[in-house]
Chains A and B, each alone.
Chain A
Amino acid sequence: MAFDEMKSPDGGVRPPYRAYENWLLSVPPDLLPRKNEQADALFRRLGITFAVYGDKEGTERLIPFDPIPRIIAAKEWERLSEGCCQRVRALNAFLKDLYHGQEIIKAGVIPKTQVFGNGLYRPEMQGLDVARDVYIHISGIDVVRTGESEFYVLEDNLRSPSGVSYMLENRAMMMRLFPDLFTRHHVAAVESYPDQLLKNLRSVAPAACDGDPTVVLMTPGYYNSAYFEHAFLAEQMGIELVEGRDLFVRDRLVYMRTTHGPKRVDVIYRRIDDDFLDPDAFNPDSALGVRGLMEAYRAGGVTLANAIGTGVADDKATYTYVPDMVRFYLGEEPILNNVPTWRLDRKDDLKYVLEHLSELVVKEVQGAGGYGMLVGPTSSKTEIEEFRARILKTPDNYIAQPTLALSTVPTLVEKGIAPRHVDLRPYVLMGETATLVPGGLTRVALRQGSLVVNSSQGGGTKDTWVLEDDPC
């Protein structure tokens, strides 16, 4: 039985949801469906859409929005927030160490092969100093809940995680649809996210910057699935939204082409993968990147956020070592637990997993977006056998985890309100310190029983409320 975040097993309502429950009982039953339709029309008009790869028909779709908020108590949030920041501090320390002295490998905490055999390790970064030692300026930590005080980190997203615009837009939508709800609750504000982000980005200007730092957001362009978010964040921060063709490098400094000639760029918040950044240094076929960018970066002429080569710290095999990193670098006990994980490059683990495929979730080590994974309990025999063959071909490419009973939150469905499984992605910002705004993106699996919350796989989103004070 999954943990229900609203209803206790005895039929009562958990404290964070009490005021909401009272409100829900006081409104006509057709209110939520009506508001939901309004939200749909508004989102479409605002053009808050995302593109789905491989879907030729509708290149733009709405991510379904659910009008019932996910409510988190102040106390619960405090722990989550500390846990996420702790994790990111450790991961950042790991990247700095990995690309310098590699103490953690010398200490035998992480095997050498895990790092150097990893396709996302960037030898170009070895020995390179980055501004303020910050590698992970922006990260999204995916957290799931399985009980009253049981939270697990499912994965760390350290390469331009997306979704934060939905956190902000969902809140704006909820305030527009249900202003009275916000007078009944003290919901912590999330609106300062763009300001914090900009402040952080300006604080990591490179040594070569001698004046007021110019920050830009670099997008692959408007066919990218997250283009809406890129434009949204650039607008919120009041910075230029650039594409590779707008930038050029001269004497190891980066410039953008403007109507008044070239203008220096100091910090690039890039929403484009390492591989495509610079055709000279990485993928030579990339039409999206900027020639000479890596050289400028190496020379300290520009800061990239996130740094190059952070992927080595967020793949699903490195994930298993994060609790050890927390102990190694911070001398602290991890506040948030990892999900127990079998690594299929280990013989014993592989044997166990192959015997229990129908109970487990198997994921590609470098996969993302819910693609290339097997959810054992909801898969057919054929699907399981097909996946078994793929695992046997390259076992190191997979990890497995127990199927967690993700917590549920009441959700508007066709036949009324029903519990649906959710996860949570809070966004951690790292400048001088690691911080996060009180909130995040709650993703909800809209199909009954489904545990896959990814928007590319039919998931929706909810506004996430962190209460400022807990009811007694």
Chain B
Amino acid sequence: MLSRTADHLYWMSRYMERAENITRFLEVANRMALSAGRDRASHWRPVLTIAGGEALFAECYGERSAVSVIEFSVLDPSNPSSIYSSLRSARENAHAVRSVIPAELWESLNSTWLEVKGLDGPRLRDQGLSSFCEWVRERSHVFRGTTYGIMLRDEPYQFLRLGTFLERADNSARLLGVRAAGVRAGNSEVDADDQLHWSAVLKSVGAFKAFRTIHGDNLTPMTAVDLLVMRDDLPRSLHACLDQVSIILGNLNPGAECARLAGAAHAQLHFGRLDHLLARGLSRFVGEFVTANNALGARIHEDFLME
């Protein structure tokens, strides 16, 4: 396959996954802000820090409020990490490889983009944030279902899925980092806000029911983190993402350096223990994970001659 094609497929699915995950960040903030007594605006800050747009936001909007953060993260074309920009980039990458992907996949991405392009602040408020976020996730499900359901399991498929899991690993890790201070092995202090926060995080990734099945009513930062980091049977956990990444790279080229890097990262979660991983705290762990994940992404580009 053309290296450039691999690059477009990989980024197409990364951007689609990103759009979906931004809705998850927004849902956490929304739940927290609605439950908070005062200083509601502070709960919107993580949305900006996760996506790395805090400086740009300060420059363009100044004051932080629900309305301004939502506008910035959903509709602002100048914010490279907005849902608008992500869906536009997903569609542009798809456009460049439309002869490679199933026609249905292109049609779905194109119609998603056309719809979000026609959206503005008043219309978004009219629809409501939750219902908009549901719609974005539905479009992402259609994307995933179309690729999983009809694509030949050849190289294009592998690169496309690679993008999905690499982006998801990054986004899941960043979501864990929102309220990481104080979460470390051996610290069992839990306050009410912690419970509220972690249940919002679990709900935002659709994992609350899974949590109940596995941990019952024992909701602490550590049990939540255990589920979202260590469990390989939860599809959005870091472990599950790295399972997929290392399988895919093994299929593409088992001898490549990127396959080795992915294997090493995967082994850490597969054979490691949570209390060891969190010995120096969740913040540290998340920071290192995100850095390693970025390095893996860069190496993938190098190994497959992608631009």
- Does B99 have its Cβ within 8 Å of any Cβ on chain A? yes
| Interfacial chain A residues near B252, Cβ < 8 Å | 259
Asked if residues A45 and B99 are in contact (CB atoms below 8 Å), the reply is no
Q: In this complex, what residue of A is CB-closest to B92?
A: A222
Tell me whether A235 and B155 are in contact (CB under 8 A).
no
Chain B residues within an 8 Å CB radius of A45:
107, 110-111, 114
Judged by a CB distance under 8 angstroms, whether B150 is at the interface is: no
- Mark contacts of A339-375 with chain B using CB atoms, 8 A cut-off: 1 yes-contact digit, 0 otherwise: 0000000000000000000000000000000000000
Instruction: Return 10 A-B CB contacts under 8 Å, by A number.
Output: A45-B114, A47-B106, A222-B95, A222-B96, A235-B98, A240-B2, A240-B5, A257-B4, A258-B3, A259-B159
Q: Mark A210-224, 1 if CB is under 8 A from B, else 0.
A: 000000000000100
- Judge whether B6 is part of the interface by a CB distance below 8 angstroms: yes
A3 to B288: give the CA distance in the assembly, Å. 76
The answer to whether A259 and B1 touch (CB under 8 A), given A45-B110, A46-B107, A47-B107, is yes
Identify the closest chain A residue to B94 (Cβ).
Answer: A47
Which residues of B have CB within 8 Å of A256? 2
Closest-by-CB residue of B relative to A236 is B99
**A245 interface residue (CB < 8 Å to B):** yes
How far is A243 from B97 in the complex, measured between Cα atoms in Å?
A: 12
Q: Who on chain B is nearest to A245 by CB? A: B4
Q: Say how far A173's CB is from chain B's closest CB, in angstroms.
A: 14
- B-facing residues in A10-27 (Cβ within 8 Å): none
Q: How far is the CA of A113 from the CA of B5 in the complex (A)?
A: 46
Q: B208 at the A/B interface (Cβ < 8 Å)?
A: no
Q: A47-B107, A47-B110, A246-B3 are in contact. Are A257 and B98 (CB under 8 A)?
A: no
Check A234–B99 contact: CB distance below 8 A.
yes
Inter-chain pairs besides A44-B114, A241-B100, A259-B159, 16 sampled, C-beta below 8 Å = A45-B107, A45-B111, A46-B107, A47-B107, A222-B95, A240-B5, A242-B2, A245-B4, A246-B2, A256-B2, A257-B305, A258-B3, A259-B2, A259-B304, A259-B305, A261-B305
> In the bound complex, do residue B3 and residue A257 qualify as a contact, i.e. CB atoms below 8 Å apart?
yes
Enumerate chain A residues within 8 angstroms of B95, measured Cβ to Cβ.
Answer: 47, 222, 227
A185 to B281, CA, bound (A): 75
A83 to B106, CA, bound (A): 40
Q: Does B114 contact A258, Cβ atoms closer than 8 Å?
A: no
**Is A257 a contact partner of B2 (Cβ separation < 8 A)?**
yes
Chain A residues with Cβ under 8 A from B103's Cβ? 46
A257 partner residues in chain B, CB cutoff 8 A: 2-4, 305
Whole-angstrom distance between the alpha carbons of A97 and B166 in the complex? 58
Cross-chain contact B4 with A246 (CB below 8 angstroms): yes
| Chain A: CB-nearest residue to B158 | A259
Q: How many A-B Cβ pairs are below 8 Å? A: 55
Encoded as 1 (CB less than 8 Å from any B CB) or 0, chain A from 42 to 54 comes to 0011110000000
Q: Which residues of A contact B (CB under 8 A)?
A: 44-47, 222, 227, 231-232, 234-235, 240-243, 245-246, 256-261
Q: Which residues of B contact A261 (CB under 8 A)?
A: 305
Number of residues from B at the complex interface, CB < 8 A: 23
Chain A residues, Cβ within 8 Å of B304: 259
Q: In the complex, what residues of A have CB within 8 A of residue B4's CB?
A: 243, 245-246, 257
Question: Which applies to chain A's interface (DSSP): helix, strand, loop or mixed?
Answer: mixed
A45 to B110, CA, bound (A): 7
A241 to B304, CA, bound (A): 18
Q: Within the complex, what minimum Cβ distance (angstroms) separates B254 from chain A?
A: 13
Main SS of the interface on chain B? helix
A94 CA to B58 CA, complexed, in Å:
67
A246 to B4 CA separation, bound complex (whole angstroms): 7
**Chain B positions within 8 Å of A241 at CB level:** 99-100
Using known A-B contacts A45-B107, A47-B107, A47-B110, determine if residue A259 contacts B99 with beta carbons closer than 8 Å: no
Q: Are B3 and A47 in contact (CB under 8 A)?
A: no
Query: Which 9 residue pairs are nearest across A and B when measured between Cβ atoms?
Result: A235-B99, A234-B99, A231-B99, A259-B304, A231-B98, A47-B110, A257-B3, A241-B99, A259-B6
| Chain A residues near B6 (CB-CB < 8 A) | 259
Distance A232 CA – B107 CA, assembled complex (angstroms): 13
B1 partner, pick from A46, A227, A234, A258, beta carbons under 8 A:
A258
Instruction: List B contacts of A47 (CB < 8 A).
Output: 95, 98, 106-107, 110
Q: Once bound together, how far apart are the Cα atoms of A125 and B1, in whole Å?
A: 32
Instruction: Output the least CB separation between A198 and chain B (Å).
Output: 13
Instruction: Name A42's closest neighbour in chain B (CB-CB).
Output: B107
Interface residues of B in 21-80 (CB under 8 A from A): none
Which residues from chain A contact B2 at a C-beta distance below 8 Å?
240, 242, 246, 256-259
Q: Which residue of A lies closest to B4 (CB)?
A: A246
The interface bits of chain B over 88-119 (1 if a CB of A lies within 8 angstroms of the residue's CB, else 0) are 00001001101110010011001100100000
Complex Cα spacing A425 to B293, Å: 54
CA distance A261 to B304 in the complex (A): 8
Complex Cα–Cα for A242 and B304 (A): 17
Q: Who on chain A is nearest to B303 by CB?
A: A259
How many Å from the CB of A125 to the closest CB on chain B? 29
A47 to B95, CA, bound (A): 9
Q: How far is the CA of A227 from the CA of B95 in the complex (A)?
A: 9
Most chain-A Cβ atoms within 10 A of its Cβ — which of B1, B95, B99? B99
Residues of B within 8 A of A222 (CB): 92, 95-96
Return A194 CB to nearest CB of chain B, in Å.
Answer: 12
The chain B residue with its CB closest to the CB of A228 is B98
Chain B residue nearest to A232 (CB atoms) is B99
A69, chain B: closest CB distance, angstroms = 24
**Chain B residues within an 8 Å CB radius of A46:** 103, 106-107, 110
> How many angstroms between the C-alpha atoms of A231 and B95 in the bound complex?
9
A258 to B95, CA, bound (A): 19
Q: Which residue of B lies closest to A46 (CB)?
A: B107
Give the complex CA separation of A256 and B103 in angstroms. 25
**Chain B residues whose C-beta falls within 8 Å of the C-beta of A234 in the assembled complex:** 99
**Whole-angstrom CA separation of A75 from B148 in the bound complex:** 50
B115 → A minimal CB distance (Å): 11
Q: Quick one: CB contact mask for B256-272 with A, threshold 8 Å, 1 for yes?
A: 00000000000000000
Interface centre among A47, A231, A234 (most CB of B within 10 A): A47
